[in-house]
Amino acid sequence: MVEERQADAPVVVVGFDGSKDSRRALEWAAAECELRGSALTVLHADRWTPAALGLPAFHEEAGIEEDVLARGVGLVRQGHPTVDVTGRRIAPPPGESLVADAGHASLLVLGSRGLGRIQQVAMGSVSRYCVEHAHCPAVVVRVDA
């Protein structure tokens, strides 16, 4: 039986794109939820707009996006079975959507790098945007060198 979350229960939000850094952030967030007794919401920002994903040419891409999210939620359930975890896909741009969806959160957790360096220069840093605009504390988890 799946328990419903209480409206006032603290929630930690983590951004997950499947990258090494986001997997580390997911692990950190799940461990933090165990310590806090908080629920965890895993957010995955799609690369394409909902309108594009609705087109027949993008149906495979929509499945890929869903698989990334399912993998993140599954990692939490496997490694931290006591954590109440849910997942949700959000529309691009990722920084703005993460900040908006974390408005109710007690903490926002992100990896330090998700995209390749060329994409990061072109699009900007999602983690930087979130740290500068989040309405809750934000933690950026770096992968150990």
Per-residue pLDDT band at 47 (split at 50, 70, 90): confident
Q: Nearest 5 degrees, angle CA 140-CA 43-CA 99?
A: 60
Residue 54 has pLDDT above 60, yes or no: yes
What is the identity of the amino acid at 94?
P
Whether 64 contacts 34, CB under 8 Å: no
- State pTM to two decimals: 0.83
Distance CA 109, CA 13 (A): 6
Q: Is 62 exposed, middle or buried (0-12, 13-18, 19+ CB in 10 A)?
A: middle
**106-132: per-residue pLDDT in tens?**
999 999 875 455 544 434 589 999 999
- What DSSP character marks residue 137? -
